[in-house]
Structure 1
Amino acid sequence: MTPPRFQHFAAIDWSGAAGERHKGIALALCSEGNAAPQIVRPGHRWSRTEVADWLAQEMPQGTLAGLDLGMSLPHADRGAYFPAWNESPADARDLWAAVERICADDPHLSVSSFVDHAEASRHFRRHGGREGDRFGGGRGRFRKSELAQERMGCRPYSNFNLIGAAQVGKSSLSGMRMLHRLSPRLPVWPVDPLPGEGSVVVEIYTTIAAMHAGRPPGRSKMRSYEELNSALISLGSRPVEASGAVDDHTSDAILTSAWLRKVAHQPELWNPPGLSEVAQTEGWTFGAV
């Protein structure tokens, strides 16, 4: 498979937090060449629906857009997302639709109704010591792409885990509501085939981008422009014209945008081992090999 030639590269640091607008959302964009990525709407506090609108209506044509969220839940390990639930979705598209249907009355693409659902909740670890009887114990269940991340030296979190500062479960579920609204107008790889041209959405893990820039997994967060610029230069990008402190949401988005530009045309990243077995159910994290 030969990847299409993208002209633009966007990275979105996402948030599953409660409320309408979130300081944890950042959106960076760059184009071909080596200019430093720029933050889209600097100083703006994004809502999740605004991000969805930007992707659908404002994003430049020919953009590879990376979303820092899990596009699906583990499936291959047990042959189902929610074993023993007779309404367990069949594949990723069905999962997105189920989350949207159950959460239709939850505002701002939030997902409280899904994590509290009588059957679905049995599989999640939630706040207040509430661990579902089907969570499975330990660190929880993992997708094949998350196991690939772990082999690379990352420490991924299960999307069924909803507690802790580093949990990604709620952001992933809220992202599924967005993906349901975007797809199939905007292809989501690998649930959708990679088109020969046009824009594509992929799942990203910002730690992978930081590792490619020479930072160890345990120190992937950059909280100064000096650290960020050193990482950008290692990816062949010009530095940002700024100095001093920077929040890690901004630095994650900027660095990952530059990383996508550097690696997007490497065929092996679009054909990782084991992808064909889980493309329609679990999806994949771009860059996990």
Structure 2
Amino acid sequence: MGPGEQGATAGVRRPPLSRFTHFAAIDWSGAVGARQKGIAVAICRIGADAPTLLVPDGGWSRLKVLEWLQHAMPADTLVGLDLGPSLPFADRGAFFPGWAESPADARGLWALIERICTDDPHLSASSFVDHAEAARHFRRHGGRKGEFFDGRGRLRVTEEAQRLQGLNPYSNLNLVGASQVGKSSLTGMRVLHRLQDTLPIWPFDESATGSLIVEIYTSIAAIAAGRPRGRSKMRTIAELNAALAAIGSATVAGDGAIDDHSSDAILTASWLRTAADRAALWHPAQLTAALARTEGWTFGVS
């Protein structure tokens, strides 16, 4: 951070409140392949109706989500993407210290990943993961750990703030394990690169009207709905409906089992509807103009 930036929010882009008519949540996936079972999309309107789970023919792919965001999503939608839109920067003054091509901001990072992965199918990011310079900063499968990857991996400022809220964030530089979010984040950055001229992305963009993308952490919605920390996943309709009711939403029909990707998307869409007008969530104390250009911020982290 530069002089005078600590705790300063001047220059950080904030949308006006009470402008959204729809609220969507997308549980993302970094898996290889044309279709990803881990992607789920849910949307709701202003009011208290239960969110609708959207299931296209053939299931979701990353390209299908991109097309929905660009062409089919309702106007004035606040949409949350469950992925990291950037990598750690503030702790070392760079995304990739020592690499001459290390970008100066998040948009440069998205462009770098897109350029290196331009031939990777299905908006995957395998070429970036295996890039000789980038790989020096990642923990990869097969016990491959770059020389610049320390401990559990570097965290963004917003992820450090998540820890203070009792959450358990993983470094976006960690690409190993069931709970890792690194691959999802890298593939998501390819989507953000393609969306940047179509939809504003908070807090990187100014945003006065229309739809807006924010980063979400679905555990925040689950905890707000009374789910125990460490047990945020809901795998039955009964569990999901209890959480929906706790935040003032109508419940969904049916009973029995539900996959946690779908339940995460449904609950988080409803939570976004309740949280969008909370001014404090758009004014986190640690979000500076510098972080808004480089690391971004998770909506719901104070």
TM-score range, shorter chain: over 0.9
Q: Is the 8 A contact 1:68 1:204 kept in 2?
A: yes
Helix, strand or coil at the partner of 2:26: strand
Helix, strand or coil at the partner of 2:112: helix
Q: Deviations over 1:213-266 (max 9, x none)?
A: 011220100000000000000111000011110000000000000000001011
Specify which of 112, 118, 125 is matched with residue 98 of structure 1.
112
Q: Deviations over 1:175-199 (max 9, x none)?
A: 0000000003200000112x22200
Q: Deviations over 1:94-135 (max 9, x none)?
A: 000000000000000000100111101000000010000011
Q: Is the 8 A contact 1:3 1:270 kept in 2?
A: no
- In structure 2, runs of 5+ residues without a counterpart are 1-13
Specify which of 251, 258, 265 is matched with residue 270 of structure 2.
258
**How far 1:3 moved relative to its partner?**
2.6
- In structure 1, runs of 5+ residues without a counterpart are none
Is 1:139 matched up with 2:152?
A: yes
The Cα RMSD (Å) is 1.0
Specify which of 246, 250, 261 is matched with residue 249 of structure 1.
261
Helix, strand or coil at the partner of 1:280: helix
Helix, strand or coil at the partner of 1:6: coil
Is 1:112 matched up with 2:132?
A: no
Aligned counterparts of 1:85 and 1:181: Cα–Cα separation in 2: 25
Deviates more, 1:70-79 or 1:267-276: 267-276
Query: What letter is aligned with 1:20?
Result: A
Aligned counterparts of 1:76 and 1:3: Cα–Cα separation in 2: 29
Query: What letter is aligned with 1:229?
Result: N
CA 287–36 in structure 1, closer or farther in 2 if over 3 Å, else same: same
The aligned runs of 1:211-226 (5 Å cut-off) are: 211-226=223-238
Q: Is the 8 A contact 1:99 1:177 kept in 2?
A: yes
State, as a whole percentage, how many aligned pairs show the same letter. Answer: 63
- How many aligned residue pairs are there? 287
Aligned counterparts of 1:265 and 1:92: Cα–Cα separation in 2: 26
The aligned runs of 1:28-107 (5 Å cut-off) are: 28-41=42-55, 44-107=58-121
Dislocated runs of 4+, deviation >6 Å: none
Query: What letter is aligned with 1:107?
Result: P
**How far 1:44 moved relative to its partner?**
4.6
Helix, strand or coil at the partner of 2:25: strand
Aligned counterparts of 2:175 and 2:39: Cα–Cα separation in 1: 18
- TM-score computed with the length of structure 2 as normaliser: 0.93
- TM-score computed with the length of structure 1 as normaliser: 0.97
